Structure 1
Amino acid sequence: MTKDVIALTPKMPDLPTLIAGLYAGGPDLGINTLADGAVVQLCAPDGRPLVSVEAPILIQVPGETARLLGHAVKEGPVWWTEARASTAAAEAERLAGSFAGRLATVLGGTVWPPEAATTDVVPLTTDVSAIPIPATGNPAVDILTATTAVVIQDRPLVATTTWLSDALRTATAADRALQIVTPPTTRLTLPTRTALRGLPNRWVVQDPEHGYYDGLSGAVLHWKNGTFTPVRDEDGAASVADAFKTTAETGERQLLLTLRTQHPADADLVLGRALEAAFRHLTGAAPAGWSTAEPVNLPWSTRQLTDLARARAPRPTWLIAVGHPDRPALATMRVLRTTAGVEEGITLALGYGANEAPPLQAVEALAAELDAEHGLVTLLTALRAARRDLSAPAQLEPPPIPVTFTLGHDEARRIAPPRAEHPPLGLTPTRLGPPAEPALHYPLGDGTDPQAWSTFQQLTQHLKRQA
């Protein structure tokens, strides 16, 4: 598997330091650049890339190195320089470690993983000319077929880095699946899990004892016709790997909010305020930072993310927001220009330990503010038994259970208030806001009874019929 090595330094690696790092293989290796200089590659004499180094990122958000790497650094901003070693030569992994170790030594930083750090010169002894060059066209992609781009990752937590974002974007544009192959001990961040949720993309777990299986569904997989696909019996049914079924009850939970807002497309529009309101109601503070990839590196700023979305329009903009380290909170937001205006699609997850109570009592007040000030269309709140740190293991996790559902006042008016206020099953919504045009807040349960899904489905079917 390819290896990622990261140098974390208090100072930005300047050109002399980068050159010193790139001499980890001695003077015989060459240099190449990609993506207008954003990626530098250390290459074998025949031009084959051995180590790809991404441009340094200044991480100004506290807790990001600990969240993604389990590797805390001193207080203050830190420069994140990531090197990815290929499988073209046995020396590539040590070359990446020497590159990162040299940066950390000169600039007074650290290396992740710590055991990879070295400053030794690593001469190339493998005859790489005998190894076929993979025609991937992307330094993050290890195997490329007519239907699939395969990324092999060997790290505890797979985040939606710019590497991975580029690989997903390139695969989608070419009508290919993106499949990430990892060991069974690997977990996914929430943004990565979201990106891989829809087929044909997959999280492929390579288990030494159980073979390959899907890390999100558990389906046993095999490599067939250039892609990982489920193994099916004579009746066409797929089986679930035994390793996927192993679960442990920890008492940890996640509070999940899925909300949609809509705004007129005018020059004074500021995006991200609905997300900020959700963070303040549920965590007591605004998000700590935002970015278009992980690690999240920019301090929270609604103005800056609005400027980005406006510059990208009419193309959609996807971004990530993260909370402060004392309360696990992570959100994704998609901004879309539509004929009706500008739409925000937000998913927010918050983590709680066995002895922590999710703030369900704060949801109604949040819904009222979202409707009154932030163009709420719908808000669904749910609870699930899952890890407090918001990461996803390659194991069976129970689905979330709905707690409340809210219709914004414009959406309630479109459906017709008399019918929306009298749904089946005896549900009585709370009216939020002005009596003449209220938002409707429906209680569905306390997050422990799976029957709430049936209630929610009947409610939405009733509302759709009225619409």
Structure 2
Amino acid sequence: MTKDVIALTPQMPDIRTILAGLYAGGPDVAINTTADGAVIQLCRPGGRPLVSIEAPILLQVRGEIRRLLGADTGAWDSPLWWTEARAVTTAPEAEPLARSFAGRLVSVLSGTTWPAGPVTTDVVPLTPGTAATPPTDTEPLGVDVFTDKAAVVIQDRPVVAMTNWLSEALRTATTSDRALQIVTPKSSRLTLPTRIALRGHPNRWVVQDPECGYYDGLSGALLQWHDGVFAPARTDSGTTPVAQAFTQISGTGERQLIVSLRTRYAPEADLMLGSALETAWQLLTGAPPAGWSTAEPVNLPWSTRQLTDLARSRAPRPTWLIAIGHPDRPAIATVQITRTTAGVEEDITLALGYDPGEIPPLDAIEGLAETLAAEHHLTSMLTSLRPATCDLTVAPRFEAPPIPVAFTLGIDTVHDIGLGHASRPPLALQPIQLGRARPALHYVLGDGTNAQAGTMLQQLTQHLKNAQKS
């Protein structure tokens, strides 16, 4: 398990300031670098790391500190340098060492530390007689337990974000055919990017509950540690109980509008990626995205040119990125950019949060669908509404599934299926044609309150798939 300490400073920590921070452990602490020099580790001489320190990140997007830390940072909003230190909990001096490192940075550069507490610059002596064997080369950075089946990360933060090191842990687990399992207390929440990253089986959010042990934060299934992995607990009859804590829900009236869309472009030299997302954001919120990044915290001002350059430099490897909105309108998106034989594809999930008194802009969805189909090579788009928190985080409690509002087929998709077949689903549902010569089709499924809309969507998609098979 790690304890995280973050230094937030208005100035970039330079080499001399970093060195002053590294002396927080006195002369007995060894220094190591990993991740191609992006991470500095304070270690026991010849032993395991005590504190891992990531390269400073300049936050240029308003509201990120409050979104991820929930801290009352006052004037310390942005731009700020975010320097994160992660202390292991297996050594008593590790957390004080991380706090002293962060304290030395803010004492020189001013700023603040998180979690809140007294800033210290004391030298932290190593506890005698606790030398550890060095880590093996197979142990990945940031993973607390690494077995043949799972990479387990233990986090004690109010909001678990998809940070650079957590992304690396996910990559390591995926490439080695292991499950990424994130263990948190039940007070923790996930950001939407972290939730999406855990979507694929056998990845899992493991919630520690003093009353029942462990349960899955997304399904509620009781869990037990068995054969090197957290797995569903079974009763004598073979069923898996659901944790009582997971079923304790309270309606707040908050809602989330979720827009999932796909685009496909020809790989042309002047292709500008991110424009479909920017258009959706502008039409639904009145402003473009505020920032983007490949991990959280989101640190770069929004730029379709920069994210296109990044995706082009990584091709043919895929690029995954996050976009965030302005603090007065909760909105966040994930984008997967993939080079395929058919072209360059974007898989986008955009979520927007609304307080109880706010009305989601469902009347803007048809216009958005028409614009994306005509100008941004839309393949398909699904719009849904769900009762969930306005801040777009995920708590380890039951959440009702999204209710479909509308489904859109892009121009090329309609052409491939056949306009006649796509226009006549086996439902009392007449699609709206968007365009004339080669139209897109927009199917209105409801207003987000009719639970039968999910069944209608299943029947519609099955009808459309049948045409593609024939």
* TM-score under structure 2 length normalisation: 0.97
The match for 2:458 is: 457
* Contact kept in structure 2, 1:134 and 1:142, CA below 8 Å: no
1:61-120 Cα deviation digits (max 9, x unpaired): 111111101123435411000000012311101111111111111101110111263222
Tell me how large the CA RMSD over aligned residues is. Answer: 1.4
CA change 1:130–1:463 in 2 (3 A) is: closer
Count of aligned pairs between the two proteins: 466
Secondary structure, aligned partner of 2:169: helix
Kindly report which structure 2 residues correspond to 1:377-396, keeping only aligned pairs within 5 A, or say none: 377-396=379-398
Kindly report which structure 2 residues correspond to 1:11-410, keeping only aligned pairs within 5 A, or say none: 11-71=11-71, 72=73, 73-115=75-117, 117-129=119-131, 137-410=139-412
Secondary structure, aligned partner of 2:359: coil
1:145-171 Cα deviation digits (max 9, x unpaired): 111111000000000000100011011
CA change 1:431–1:384 in 2 (3 A) is: same
* Contact kept in structure 2, 1:412 and 1:420, CA below 8 Å: yes
Secondary structure, aligned partner of 1:290: strand
Q: What is the one-letter code of the residue matched to 1:416?
A: G
CA change 1:30–1:427 in 2 (3 A) is: same
Secondary structure, aligned partner of 1:412: helix
The match for 2:432 is: 430
Structure 1: where are the runs of 5+ without partners? none
Q: What is the one-letter code of the residue matched to 2:115?
A: P
The match for 2:7 is: 7
Shift of 1:293: 0.3
* Contact kept in structure 2, 1:364 and 1:441, CA below 8 Å: yes
* Contact kept in structure 1, 2:65 and 2:77, CA below 8 Å: no
Shift of 1:417: 0.8
Mapped partners of 1:208, 1:321: distance in 2:
36
* Contact kept in structure 2, 1:97 and 1:116, CA below 8 Å: no
* Contact kept in structure 2, 1:197 and 1:216, CA below 8 Å: no
* Contact kept in structure 1, 2:142 and 2:153, CA below 8 Å: yes
- Percent sequence identity over aligned pairs: 66
* Contact kept in structure 1, 2:233 and 2:241, CA below 8 Å: yes
* Contact kept in structure 2, 1:91 and 1:126, CA below 8 Å: no
* Contact kept in structure 1, 2:10 and 2:110, CA below 8 Å: yes
Mapped partners of 1:132, 1:450: distance in 2:
56
* Contact kept in structure 2, 1:134 and 1:144, CA below 8 Å: no
Secondary structure, aligned partner of 2:117: helix
Mapped partners of 1:367, 1:123: distance in 2:
62
* Contact kept in structure 2, 1:219 and 1:238, CA below 8 Å: yes
Secondary structure, aligned partner of 1:255: strand
* Contact kept in structure 2, 1:255 and 1:383, CA below 8 Å: yes
Mapped partners of 1:389, 1:398: distance in 2:
16
CA change 1:296–1:36 in 2 (3 A) is: same
Secondary structure, aligned partner of 2:170: helix
* TM-score under structure 1 length normalisation: 0.97
Shift of 1:45: 2.3
Shift of 1:54: 0.3
Kindly report which structure 2 residues correspond to 1:410-449, keeping only aligned pairs within 5 A, or say none: 410-433=412-435, 435-449=436-450
Shift of 1:56: 0.4
Shift of 1:123: 1.1
Q: What is the one-letter code of the residue matched to 2:108?
A: V
Mapped partners of 2:44, 2:162: distance in 1:
29
* Contact kept in structure 1, 2:46 and 2:133, CA below 8 Å: no
Mapped partners of 1:36, 1:314: distance in 2:
22
CA change 1:87–1:116 in 2 (3 A) is: farther
* Contact kept in structure 2, 1:260 and 1:343, CA below 8 Å: yes
Mapped partners of 2:130, 2:57: distance in 1:
31
* Contact kept in structure 2, 1:136 and 1:142, CA below 8 Å: no
* Contact kept in structure 2, 1:54 and 1:81, CA below 8 Å: yes
